A and B are shown apart, each in its own frame.
Chain A
Amino acid sequence: MTNKVTKAGSISRRRLLTTASAGAVLAVSPFRINLVRAEEAPIKIGFPVPLTGPYGAEAQDQVRAGQLAVAQFNDAGGLNGRKAELVVRDDKLNPGEAATRTLELVEKEKVNFVVGSLSAAVQLAINNVTKERGVIFNSISQSDAINEAADFSKFTFHEALNPHMTSGAVGRYAFTKFGKKVAFLTADYAYGHEMVRGFLEVGKEFNIENLGDVRHPLGTTDFSTLLPRLQALKPDILCISNFGRDQQIALKQATDFGIKKSIQIIAPLLSHASRVAAGPQAFEGVVGGCSFYWGIEDKFASTKAFNDAFRKMYDGKLPTDYGALGYGGVRTVLEAVKSAGSVETDKVVAALEALKYDYYKGPQYYRKCDHQSVQSVLVIKSKSKDMKNESDVFEVLSTEEPNEKNLRSCEALGHKA
């Protein structure tokens, strides 16, 4: 009896040891850790934007609104309880830096999606990385090239407007109202080039006369040596295609040189953050385009809801154009995740393609062939008086409704029909 008991005791001890060690082996095995992590890991969205440098003001708004979209997703319960997280990186407005950061986001941070960028050139560098790694990238800054077959991939989405749409809308408005003789001052990189090409294309319909295109490097701080030449050309319209701090300084100095007295200045895009940073004087009377202005909240319930949520999260501040893009870019991806019920790339791509959405500016959808978001373009004018609050900076002159006719055709972009 005693023997048996001892035996049984020894067996049970041996069993205990075996089980314990097996458990320990299982616990430290990578397989098991992955299982646990997969249940708890957040959905990560990489967000490379140029926080420092000439487009910093706009980039910070992209982050703010992107955070809002993530917060809303998480508050609504996430994907069956799985939360999302925005992983922000500074791409310094440099394609090389952006590629490195994106690679790091994909390889080290293991992000599920990438949303971001604020440059026609930098987004192509990001897209190159995501395309190769098969990661969905939703770009929130302007580019024509990203729609074209050479740069496009099924993982590439474009929530922002493209230069063709923007310059088209502004051109159609300006060339009928202000005159036919047009001179250009252009930032010498993809964004500027694409904008000028768009203006000249739409200008053909209106028989505009191109007096000349003066190009300046990105990050120019003094335009005093370029302005006399442009003034001497005596155009009806001076079209300034640059962005961020370049736009602020160019408009400020053009005002100082008295150009506005005889010439109407237009810009393809008038940035809200730049208008605030440069002040009312510099932007006074300038006409341009934008993808979003908070003031359309009277027209769209979605705009009102977005504005209110943004105000609540950021002490009464109102969202800007590029902020709205940050929101739209992140929200569309997260909504697609919800409707796909998964973060699997192919399922989310299909869900994004199927989206018909109205999250902040009225109806939008991604065109099938190039994943360009078909949406409205606003033509706006900068205000200098009767401003109700610090965000009351633009007046909406006209709205070009969403229409695939205003996009380049799929065939022209090199996509097979």
Chain B
Amino acid sequence: MAGLSFDLIALQLFAGLALGAIYVLFAIGLSLIFGMLTVVNFAHGAFYMVGAYVGLYLISIGGNFWICLVAVPILIGLFGLAVERVLIRPLYGRGIDYPLLLTFGLSYVMVECVRIAFGKTGYPFDTPEVLQGAVNIGVGYFPLYRLFVIGATAVVLLALWLFLEKTSFGLIIRAGARDPQIVRVLGVDVSRVWLIVFGIGTAIAGFAGLLAAPLQGVIPEMGGTILAEAFVVTVVGGMGSIGGAVLAGLLVGVVVSMTSLFAPEMAKVSIFALMAIVLIVRPQGFFGRAGLMS
């Protein structure tokens, strides 16, 4: 193949970061729920998929993409609240595998329900008109919509950071993650805190699904592939660490992108190879707390 130019490598690096942003956005909700609740949410991919379908439905009844950007996370978040209250809450204190199995089963139920409601075939999801086309980013052309996804991810991360670090409710959430018993003794209703954290995590998953829809269309199985990638991101970043998820997500994106450039057949394997290396050198991941799983 033709030689490598500086522009191509730079563009490839950028493509990797853009892909990483999508991983980050998806993995962040997973990591948040695990870090605060120690619930490994296997239904995260299903919430992501339902987010895309809710967006599709809202647009079909006359909404537009911008309304969806607000409405989808709210609706999926409310759905998440209901799931936590009815299904997850009775399982607290029963060991990590109980909610894991429950959410695993739930993901099948959700996918099957969507198949029944919308059919097994996928649907197209058009990129909003103002975000169509490619723009010159200096080293080559890049789709405008992908730049928008990077921006949206940055906004979500900033909002989440401000919420957790700068508000008093965020303080309670962080305290609840460290030592729920003390927080409870101090008169805080911890179960309400967990409820809200689960709602936020699923809302972000729905938001990520909506953003992914114009990239690849919607299909009931769309949550499956990304869930595997997101677990790699959370494991590499350290289970439960939000900062770790951001760093690992971007790293995984860049690794995929660079492998694609030199050995595209290896791209899918490369992220698991990365995970294996990280696990050997640093079993708890970049910023993981040891012993969270035990």
Contacts and interface: CB of A to CB of B under 8 A. Distances in A.
B86 interface: no
Interface stretch (A94-102, A152-160, A169-177, A219-227): A219-227
Nearest to A213: B1
A217 B217 contact: no
Contacts of A276: 121
B19 A224 contact: yes
A267 B109 CA distance: 36
Nearest to A51: B120
Interface string B137-152: 0001111011000000
Interface string B247-262: 0000000001100110
28 contacts: A57-B120, A57-B122, A212-B2, A217-B265, A221-B222, A222-B215, A224-B18, A224-B143, A226-B264, A228-B8, A228-B15, A229-B1, A229-B12, A231-B140, A232-B5, A248-B216, A248-B217, A256-B127, A256-B134, A257-B134, A257-B141, A258-B133, A273-B121, A277-B124, A277-B219, A278-B217, A279-B124, A279-B126
B264 A245 contact: no
Interface size class of A (residues with CB under 8 A): 35 or more
B106 to A, nearest CB: 18
Interface string A220-247: 1110111111011100000000000100
B121 A217 contact: no
A188 B260 CA distance: 13
A60 interface: yes
A52 B11 contact: no
Contact of B1 (A212, A215, A222, A224): A212
Contacts of A56: 120-121, 219
B219 A224 contact: no
Given A217-B268, A231-B140, A258-B133, A225 B122 contact: no
B140 A53 contact: no
B122 A248 contact: yes
Interface of A: 51-53, 56-57, 60, 188, 211-212, 214-217, 219-222, 224-229, 231-233, 245, 248-249, 252-253, 256-258, 273, 276-279, 281-282
Contacts of A221: 216, 222, 225-226
Contact of B8 (A52, A232, A248): A232
B141 to A, nearest CB: 5
Nearest to A217: B268
A221 B217 CA distance: 10
Contacts of B221: 52-53
Contact of B260 (A211, A225, A277): A225
A224 B133 contact: no
B267 interface: yes
A192 to B, nearest CB: 11
A328 to B, nearest CB: 22
Given A257-B134, A282-B124, 19 more contacts: A212-B2, A216-B265, A216-B267, A217-B268, A220-B268, A221-B222, A224-B15, A225-B256, A228-B140, A232-B2, A232-B140, A248-B122, A257-B141, A257-B143, A277-B124, A278-B217, A279-B124, A279-B126, A279-B217
B145 to A, nearest CB: 6
Nearest to A212: B1
Interface in B243-294: 256-257, 260-261, 264-265, 267-268
A225 B16 contact: yes
